């Protein structure tokens, strides 16, 4: 398990699936905002990779995010779009509603940076998020990510186009040991 100061990132366990389905993926608006694709329901016994993970892929890693104290599931973290030639990847988080506002997002981004830069040897990490996702913007910027641009009206979300913010962090800019 990768450990931050508040959370750990571990492999997706089978028992995580029902919690993630109910608390994250059954939330139509939240899922559409996070994933950038149309929502569809997931059956209780679904083997969807978002619920069970897929450890055979080299270009993406799905983590379950758990509290270090007690081990409760608090959300998901993803390391995806891995480009081995250019040594870059994308980061993403999904926190359960009960886990929001507790600093887990900032710690999750810090732990994913540790994984990306130290474990995987990436040179660049990138986050894309909706312009009104203030929690993710704060979590990224607290970890040293820089706003590199705005993709105007690029995300179709529940009947309207929204702006996305592109943030980047280079290995030499990263400060190991967590968020500032």
Write down the domain spans for the chain: 2-123
Exposed/middle/buried for residue 43 (C-beta within 10 Å: 0-12, 13-18, 19+): exposed
Neighbours of 146 (CB within 10 A): 12
Q: Which residue shows structure tokens 């988080």? A: 93
Model pLDDT, residue 180: 41
The listed CATH number (3.10.580.10, 3.40.630.30, 3.40.800.10, 1.10.260.30) that belongs to domain 2-123: 3.40.630.30
Model pLDDT, residue 138: 98
pTM here is 0.92
Model pLDDT, residue 68: 97
CA distance 4 to 8: 6
Exposed/middle/buried for residue 97 (C-beta within 10 Å: 0-12, 13-18, 19+): exposed
- Which parts of the chain sit beneath pLDDT 50? 180
Model pLDDT, residue 178: 54
């Amino acid at each position: 398990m990768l450990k931050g100061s508040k959370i750990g990132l571990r492999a997706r366990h089978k028992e995580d699936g029902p919690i993630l389905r109910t608390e994250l993926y059954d939330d139509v608006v939240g899922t559409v905002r996070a994933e950038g694709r149309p929502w569809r329901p997931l059956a209780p016994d679904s083997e969807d990779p978002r619920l069970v993970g897929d450890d055979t892929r080299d270009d993406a890693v799905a983590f379950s995010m758990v509290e270090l104290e007690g081990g409760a599931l608090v959300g998901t973290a993803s390391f995806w779009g891995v480009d081995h030639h250019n040594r870059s990847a994308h980061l993403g988080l999904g926190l359960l509603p009960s886990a929001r506002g507790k600093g887990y997002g900032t710690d999750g981004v810090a732990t994913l940076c540790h994984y990306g830069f130290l474990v995987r040897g990436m040179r660049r990490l990138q986050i894309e998020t909706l312009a009104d996702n203030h929690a993710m913007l704060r979590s990224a910027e607290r970890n040293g990510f820089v706003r590199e641009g705005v993709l105007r009206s690029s995300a179709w979300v529940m009947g309207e186009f929204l702006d996305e913010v592109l943030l980047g962090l280079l290995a030499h800019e990263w400060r190991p040991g967590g968020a500032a």
